[in-house]
Amino acid sequence: MADRLSRTVRSDAQYNREHILDAAREVFAADGLNAPMREVARRAGVGPATLYRHFPTKELLATEAFADRMRACELIVEEALANPDPWQGFQSVIERICELHAHDRGFTAAFTSNFPHAGDFAARRERTLRSVAKLARKAKRSGHLRPDFVLDDLILVLMANNGIHATSTATRAAASRRFAALAIRALQA
């Protein structure tokens, strides 16, 4: 009986955790990281104590909620590095990451933030940025990327892309694609 009860509690806790993460993804995607934790709890259908028991800080909640987005970002950069044409690879990074970020405003804030207590997320972001820097060096050597490009330019592109506001995600994604095309032209040698 006690064993069955502990499994039930564990499955309930896992259920709550997954609902909290799903709600956080929705809330952060729509409202960014400034959304209050109580809104995440409300949307997840749990009390604040349950939310804070699973995720004591918004930083921990955000890093867990965006783990899949971070992996998508890493895959985009890995695929771009594998492209034999570094300029095409670099363009695909801008296009695909801007689109990814257009669908999830909270991820841009998380990606560009420094989360001191989320070492794994920060390490993954740094690895991804190092890979983009490697791709940028290749694109510069090919003569297609501006020689004065620095990695902070990519962060500025992401921050500007995050500033696109629209009434729907589809409209924001379309505007993001247009913005990415303009940014690529501006970065071209």
pLDDT at site 117: 53
pLDDT, one tens digit per residue, over 114-157 is: 655 555 777 888 899 999 999 999 999 999 999 999 999 998 99
Quote the mean pLDDT of the chain: 86
**Residues of the chain predicted below pLDDT 50:** 2, 5-6, 9
Going from the C-alpha of 110 to that of each of 61, 66, 72, 86, the distances in angstroms are 11, 8, 14, 27
Structural domains in the chain? 2-65 (1.10.357.10), 67-187 (1.10.357)
pLDDT at site 17: 86
Distance CA 55, CA 62 (A): 9
pLDDT at site 93: 96
Are the C-beta atoms of 66 and 110 separated by less than 8 Å?
A: yes
pLDDT at site 116: 52
3-state SS, 154-188, equals HHHHHHHHHCCCCCCHHHHHHHHHHHHHHHHHHHE
Task: Name the residue among 76, 160, 172, 182 with its Cα closest to residue 112.
Answer: 160
pLDDT at site 26: 87
